Structure 1
Amino acid sequence: MVPKKDTAVSSSSPYDDDLNGVADPRGSEQELGSSSSKSRRAFDRKSYSGALLFNFGAFLLPALYGTLSKLWVANIDSSMVVTTDVYTYIGVVTECINEGLPRAAWVIIGDKSSRSLSSRLSLSYTLIAFQAILGTILSIILLAAADKFADSFVPIEVRAASLKYVRISAFSALSSALETSVSACTRALDKPNVPLLISSVKFAINIILDLLLISKFHVGKAKPSVNEQAWIRLACDMASSIAGLLYFVYLSHRKRSSTTLPEQRAEKVHPSLKALGVLIRPGSITFAESAVRNALYLWLISGIVSLGSDYATAWGIFNTIRWGLVMVPVQSLEATSNAFVGHAWGKWRSEVGITTLNPKASRQDLLYITRPAFISLAIALAVEIPLCILLSTVGAYPYAMWLSNTPTVAKITTKMWRTIDWCYILTPHPHSSPPSSSRQDRDGISTNPSRRICCTFFRGRLSVKRRV
């Protein structure tokens, strides 16, 4: 992640002009979210607090829609609520590529002290183009393997009816890859308003179309289906991602046109293989880590799905609560701290000199670079600990009951919240196809010896029996 002699996309010239015209976050209390005599700075996206507000809105709207979509699908057919989790699991697969090169954006594109605006934009366009190609390839693979994907992640009770939903949702991999790459680039360029625009467009169009077509108050007398919800969601995801990309291109063109530096006007901005090479070096590490982690996660999820519809639905509700309520502040804080740590690292690296291949940082330098991360950590602990305690004690059951409208599912979800570590570690994985009822014991747990120990622990921790 240390800049080397990639002069095609990197420069040691003192380009302090970026998309916001602010170069040095060191020593600025405003940049790190401290109190300021000018209250308007708190809402400036160049400051920590302003960026946090933009990021919170950008993450809140999709989470809110994810919760509402569960309710609408439950009104259509409560047995098909578990089918909508296919969208989430496709997102987990896509996360492998979304946590590769986009993670490199924070220290590469976010380095506004050692890289010119034009080089950072070239890196951004390269990242977006490469991720769009990967997303397209992954979507085609998921479409071709829809049957096998459904076998692993859709309960047998609704598997046949869910195949079309899986095929429609396959192309959400493309929209997710495009949205994530645009969001990562623009946040690294101190433009969190672009991800907020993406989320706002997605949320607004989704709500309008869902109200018109699949809600209780939908237009017409025909009964809506869960596949209509999939088409609506895919269309809105693609439309919002493209809108965000076009807005980013517009902002970039306007900034370059208004710059007074002739060097930046002369530099060409376009995707290139050299820029891709700069991103691959740090991105390959995060890609490998993400691939291993998400593969293990999907391995565990397939085990939960094999236990039947109640358990699969409960896990989906669990994740809806987790990502819709608990993780929104964490994601917002993470995105904000990543951007400002990247800026601070770039400033320090520029001061040390990019020709120094093995720079050494003092303790003071490390504290300066990591200060935004510690601020985010403190805020996250202050918010998340009380929230998790509240959910575990009194909030999980009524919330799960509201989302699922099924007491059994709500009980399982509540138990998952209270034994979250066991749910992640001891969830069984099916070594064969999901068992038929003749191969299950009276509690619906497979009698396969290779899985029985894990199943016993899982059943004992949940202590909620399914109806067979």
Structure 2
Amino acid sequence: MLHSKDGRDSDTSHSEERDEPQEATNNDAELSWKKLAKQDLTPSRHRDTYIGALLFNISAFILPALYTTLSKLWVAHIDSSMVVTTDTFTYIGVVAEVLNEGLPRASYLVIGDKANREYRSRLQLTHTLILFQGVLGLIMSIAFVAGASTFARGFVPSEVRAASVTFHVRGVTPSVNMQAAISLACSLSSALAGLGYFIWITRFASESEDGEGQTTTTKPSVASLRTLAKPGIVFFVESAIRNALYLWLVHGIVDLGRDYATAWGVFSTIRWGLVMVPVMALEATTLTFIGHSWGQFRASSLGDESGRRHNTKPEATRRQIWSVARWVLYSIAIVLVVEIPLCFSMAFRGAGQFARYLSGSDEVAKIVARMWRTVDWCYILYGVSTQLAAVLAATRPRWYLYQSLASNILVIDKDG
């Protein structure tokens, strides 16, 4: 999901990493904004470029969205009335999202600071993050197993809560529960594949650093956890409040009955695939590069040539502001180009037809079409706002918390 701030693709690029930040800063200062934008947006498959990282993040986000869509199709073919049960896994994912937006989002600010942290120090922070998140995930899994029935009562309509519809094909008896098991297996496989990929790309760099006589340990440590926790707590609080409000709204929709609960799940699937995938991929890319640029700015502004800190509150020039924030402008332009025509096309015809295809229900399709026509323009603004907020998330987490609270309070007030 993240751009490769924890490691490059080869051992040769790591050997040059220590000299990269200052050179990049000097090169940026010599280029006009047009030439710099052209350089940044040059098509490339490498993840250390904006386009390469964006393509990588789109690939990472689109696979879960595709599986969520297919899950609804499979269950709709079993029994259209059971489509709503697939959203239970989604709502469990909302709780997991709170955990994944605490310390992990702090990585853009802390681990992404290549200019002020050595590679092995950043790798130690990453190992600490992975271990801590694994422990939290285990605790969350145990809690959901223990309270499964209670959770289901809050987010699954009573008429389908205890059902498991089956049919017989070639000696196999598929069911909604089997679909959930397949989803769990896919999630575990993707997590293990991601962990394996991380180990693979960092192994070469670690060997290169060890060959240069580096003795800094990369094992997880309490000190690294404290370093991540300071900004991580801010992101955790923000995510907890935002997702608690979301689940509260969902609970109210579920109380309206099966059709509305199903419609909201289908609407969320369409929203995730067509709106959230590009927006979140752009946000992850923006966060990564702003984190790198912010680290370069701090390294050049807070210290002198000897490396001593002399200014804790430097004043940024317009050129420096552009150097840090230019990534968000690229992302906003892409959001507008993609989301405006998409929202119009879905509002006029696409939403209802797609909802009918996913749910197998005409009534659900009508509800989804009305939902989309009501709030489609909001997602254009959401896409832009998300990219702008990335500047705060990668530089000033506390201000990111403030703007998120204000945004969510306004949304709840409008819905109320």
TM over 0.5: yes
In the alignment, which residue of structure 2 is the partner of 1:236? 186
1:58 counterpart residue number: 60
In structure 1, the residue matched to 2:339 is 384
**How far has the Cα of 1:37 moved from its partner?**
12
Structure 1 spans left out of the alignment, 5+ residues = 1-15, 166-213, 425-456, 459-468
Corresponding residue of 1:207:
none
Matches within 5 A, 1:167-246: 220-246=170-196
Residue of structure 1 equivalent to 2:313: 358
Alignment-derived partner of residue 125 in structure 1:
127
Q: Distance in 1 between matches of 2:377 and 2:336?
A: 22
Q: Give yes or no for contact 2:41–2:51 (8 Å, CA) kept in 1.
A: no
Offset, 1:295: 0.5
Structure 1 partner of 2:251? 302
Contact 2:15 2:208 in 1 (8 A): no
Seen in structure 2, the aligned counterparts of structure 1 residues 420 and 288 have a Cα distance that, compared at 3 Å, is same
Q: Deviations over 1:15-44 (max 9, x none)?
A: x964884823444589x98445997x6222
Aligned partners of 1:105, 1:20: CA distance in 2, in Å?
22
Tell me which of 343, 348, 355 is aligned to 1:393: 348
- The superposition leaves residues 319-344 of structure 1 with CA deviations (integer Å, 9 ceiling, x where unpaired) of 00000122211111111111100110
Q: C-alpha separation between the residues in 2 aligned to 1:33 and 1:90?
A: 43
Contact 1:110 1:342 in 2 (8 A): yes
- State the SS of the aligned residue for 2:290: helix
DSSP 3-state at the match of 1:300:
helix
Q: Which amino acid in structure 2 is aligned with residue 385 of structure 1?
A: I
Alpha-carbon distance in structure 2 between the residues aligned to 1:349 and 1:220: 63
Match of 1:325 in 2: 274
Q: Which residue of 2 aligns with 1:202?
A: none
Task: Look up the match of 2:368.
Answer: 413
* Letter paired with 1:351: S
Q: Deviations over 1:110-142 (max 9, x none)?
A: 111111110000000111111111111111112
Give the counterpart letter for 1:107 in structure 2: L
Query: Unaligned regions of 5+ residues in structure 2, if any?
Result: 1-11, 304-308, 380-413
Judging changes above 3 Å, is the alpha-carbon distance between structure 1 residues 116 and 319 closer, same or farther for their aligned structure 2 residues? same
Compute the displacement of 1:154 (Å). 0.2
Match of 2:208 among 241, 246, 258: 258
Q: Work out the CA distance in 2 between the residues paired with 1:161 and 1:418.
A: 33
- Any idea what SS the aligned residue of 1:341 has? helix
134-143 vs 80-89, greater mean Cα deviation: 134-143
Contact map agreement 2:120 2:218 (CA 8 A) in 1: yes
Q: Which residue type is aligned with residue 336 of structure 1?
A: T
Provide the C-alpha distance between the structure 1 equivalents of 2:96 and 2:40, rounded to a whole number of angstroms.
44
Work out which of the residue numbers 88, 91, 95 in structure 2 matches 1:89: 91
Root mean square deviation, CA, Å: 3.1
Please say if residues 40 and 50 of structure 2, whose CA atoms lie closer than 8 Å, have aligned partners that are also in contact.
no
Match of 1:211 in 2: none
1:102-113 to 2 correspondence within 5 Å?
102-113=104-115
Opposite residue 322 of structure 2, the aligned amino acid is: L
User: Is the alpha carbon distance of 1:377 and 1:133 closer, same or farther for their aligned partners in structure 2, counting shifts above 3 Å?
Assistant: same
- Normalized per residue, which structure has more helix? 2
Contact 1:119 1:269 in 2 (8 A): yes
Instruction: Count residues in correspondence.
Output: 357
Equivalent residues of 2:343, 2:377 under 8 A apart: no
SS in structure 2 of the partner of residue 43 of structure 1 = coil
Distance 1:284 1:383, change over 3 A: same
2:159 is the counterpart of 1:157: yes
Q: Which residue of 2 aligns with 1:77?
A: 79
Q: Distance in 1 between matches of 2:332 and 2:41?
A: 25
The question of whether the paired residues in 1 share the 8 Å contact of 2:114 and 2:292 is answered with yes
Q: Is the 8 A contact 2:54 2:285 kept in 1?
A: yes
Residue 359 of structure 2 corresponds to which residue in structure 1? 404
The 1:19/1:323 distance shift into structure 2, 3 A limit, reads farther
- 1:114 corresponds to which residue? 116
| 8 A contact 1:19–1:117 mirrored in 2 | no
Whole-angstrom CA distance in 2 between matches of 1:63 and 1:94: 16
TM-score, structure 1 as length reference: 0.70
- 2:20 maps to a residue whose letter is A
1:24-72 deviation per Cα after TM superposition (whole angstroms, max 9, x unaligned): 3444589x98445997x62221111111111111111221121111111
For residues 67-125 of structure 1, what are the alpha-carbon distances to aligned partners after superposition, in whole Å with 9 as ceiling and x for unaligned? 11111111112111100000110111111111111111111111111111100000001
- Alpha-carbon separation, structure 1, partners of 2:274 and 2:221: 40
- The equivalent position to 1:23 in structure 2, one of 20, 23, 32, is 20
Cα distance in 2 for partners of 1:259, 1:308 equals 59
2:41–2:50 CA contact under 8 A, matched in 1: no
Q: Tell me, what secondary structure is at the counterpart of 2:200?
A: helix
Distance 1:117 1:404 in 2: 49
The structural deviation recorded for 1:405 is: 1.1
Residues 37, 71 of structure 1: alpha-carbon distance in 2 compared, 3 angstrom cutoff:
closer
| Contact 1:83–1:158 (CA under 8 A) maintained in structure 2 | yes
